[in-house]
Structure formats: structure tokens, C-alpha cells
Amino acid sequence: MSQQEVKDALDSLKAVFLLVMPGLIAACITSSVDFLSKHWLKDKFMWNRFIVGHVSDVTLGAAVYLGLCELGVGEAGRLAAVYVAVSAGRPWVRRVIDGRLGLDDKACKGCKDEGKRGVE
């Protein structure tokens, strides 16, 4: 690869990142608010739960945002859809991921989809 090709690739990645930035910010804010409302002063703070939740929520938000960009939905509609997908779609996404990974509900004794699977 020549230097020009690398520069062009980085420029295109920068353009995509700048396109998705509002969706990423909206997903991160929604994920943080949901995490704090569920866990603030209720249980011990765990970085691994915080980081894994944010990564999955931001990935979901970016996918929804890019999909709606392709469909030609306006900015307000895309941000609203990211909010709904991150806040209401989280249990569905976790069920799909757990199904793909082969995790069953028997590994989770009494936890209500809080990311505590198999941790006793």
C-alpha cells in the first residue's frame, strides 16, 4: 500500500466517524443515564459491567443510526430511534447475544437481565 492509499483510507474512516458521532454521543448518554438509574447507590460499582454495557449500547446505537442515515430519516428521528433502541432494545439484544454465545437462563439465578449471568 502506498502512502496515498493509507491517507485516503484514514480520510474515509474520519468521514464515517464524523457522520456517526451524534449517534454515538446519544447512545453513550442514554447508556450512562440508564446505568446510573439502575445501579446508583443500589449495588457496588463494577467497571466491567459499565464498560461492556456501554460498548454494546454504543454499537447498537451506531448500527441504528447508520441504518436510518441510509434510509434518509432526519436527524431528530435518528436520535430518537437511537434512544429507543438503546433504552428499550437492550433486553432483546442481550437475549440475541446470549443465544449466540450459548448462555442459558439457568446460569442466571434471580438476576433480571442486569449482566450478572453466571456470577455468584
pLDDT over threshold 80, residue 104? no
Q: What gap in Å lies between CA 99 and CA 25, rounded to an integer? A: 28
Mean pLDDT of 30-41: 85
* Coil, strand or helix at 120: coil
Average pLDDT over residues 62-79: 91
The CA distance from 26 to 44, in Å, is: 26
Average pLDDT over residues 34-60: 84
For the stretch 80-99, pLDDT in tens is 999 998 888 777 777 777 77
- Looking at residue 118, its pLDDT comes to 46
Please say whether the beta carbons of 79 and 26 come within 8 A: yes
Arithmetic mean of pLDDT over the chain: 81
Phi-psi region at 41: left, alpha or beta (left = phi > 0; alpha = psi -120 to 50)? left
What percent of the chain has a predicted confidence (pLDDT) above 70? 85
- 47-71 and 90-101 are packed helices; what angle lies between their axes, rounded to 10 degrees? 110
Q: Where does the pLDDT of residue 119 fall: very low under 50, low under 70, confident under 90, or very high at 90 and above? A: very low
Q: How confident is the model at residue 79 (pLDDT cuts 50, 70, 90)?
A: very high
In this model, does residue 35 exceed pLDDT 90? no
